[in-house]
Structure 1
């Protein structure tokens, strides 16, 4: 195996699955093109690693456990704010064109699907070295499909009941379901049901999609 003509990139890895971290490390270090200098299993560990270690690239999962919620976009916003010149590669199992657009708007330079990361990560690293953006084949297909068929279009908030809209606005302000229940004097079960009902009406399948919707409506 020939040596790379470039110095090894210093990489920080972040994912909440230890086995996946091991696999990423093996793929990265197999040709001496990259060296993993730190790993993290949650957002707090990741931010601490970024503060402690100077690195050339961050490779991170999108959804990791957090105290309040699994909010990958807000984590990426924090990283972009604090480390604006750091190239970031995101690996995810999600397949939402709106979500991908929001990540790219935060200057994410690589988007990979976990199912194909072993085959595409080396190419993503080469793209990063050139200063290019790398999109996995599955990501490109999702974005082309959304463009061609009009999927992931925003659905008007008028479809929601006043109580559902109230819950959605408070979620957009960063409140948890429990906090909203206390504020509105409702049970957590009621608030959770109103959240689920609102997401169903809006055609949103998970919390990440909900956050994208709120962001594109200027509510977050």
Structure 2
């Protein structure tokens, strides 16, 4: 047993374990394992747990049902990490009572800090033992925030960014990582080049990048698509 996590306990049936739960995970085998884990160890009702494999389907799901909990990877195949950040912001705005737990294969510190800044309730890495998911979800369902042992060990939850990326900053980053220059981004977005430059600069500061070189060399994870890291 991993000593970094308490013994498994099943939450008593009640408000914490009722309500719809969504799992967004592009790997069907991983998604099934997560679903079974949540049902067996967290007391969730099978009929309340819904699975999708991409962000597009997740958006549709949220228009159909209110959800108590969302457990998700950052993106599906042919979707980018930045798309995932955009989805998180949308859920936070349109469904503020939904607790969001990120279970991701990506462990870039700047990405994880920005995730925490975005207001998620829980964060764990797929490289961690399955009990980490149980512990994280149990804590979140009681109204607490929960960050896994590896996240806490690296003190990422303490050194988090002050503010999440805005919608405009996400749009600018998406365009830049598609290969466009600032000038072309301004033309595409019908914005003044100075406005686009400001969005770019603010995004870089929030992410901890101090130059264009750092942004493009160390920030490659922003352009990563689900197909590049799905196990």
Dislocated runs of 4+, deviation >4 Å? 144-147, 198-203
Return the alpha-carbon distance in structure 1 between the equivalents of residues 11 and 147 of structure 2: 26
Which has the bigger relative contact order, CA under 8 A and spacing at least 6?
2
Shift of 1:174: 3.2
2:140 to 110, 116, 128: 128
Judging changes above 3 Å, is the alpha-carbon distance between structure 1 residues 141 and 82 closer, same or farther for their aligned structure 2 residues? same
Judging changes above 3 Å, is the alpha-carbon distance between structure 1 residues 49 and 79 closer, same or farther for their aligned structure 2 residues? same
2:58 to 46, 51, 64: 46
> 1:49-198 residue pairs with structure 2 within 5 A?
49-66=61-78, 69-71=80-82, 72-116=84-128, 118-143=130-155, 172=173, 174=175, 177=178, 183=184
Aligned with 1:20: secondary structure?
Answer: helix
Report if the CA contact (8 A) 2:10-2:43 is conserved.
no
Normalized against structure 1, the TM-score is what? 0.66
Shift of 1:113: 0.8
2:164 matched residue in structure 1: none
Task: Kindly tell me the number of residue pairs found equivalent between the two proteins.
Answer: 178
Report if the CA contact (8 A) 1:6-1:33 is conserved.
no
Return the alpha-carbon distance in structure 2 between the equivalents of residues 57 and 133 of structure 1: 13
Report if the CA contact (8 A) 2:72-2:102 is conserved.
yes
Normalized against structure 2, the TM-score is what? 0.63
- Cα RMSD after superposing both structures: 3.7
Report if the CA contact (8 A) 1:91-1:117 is conserved.
no
Gaps of 5+ in 1: 153-168, 185-197, 211-220
2:37 to 15, 21, 27: 27
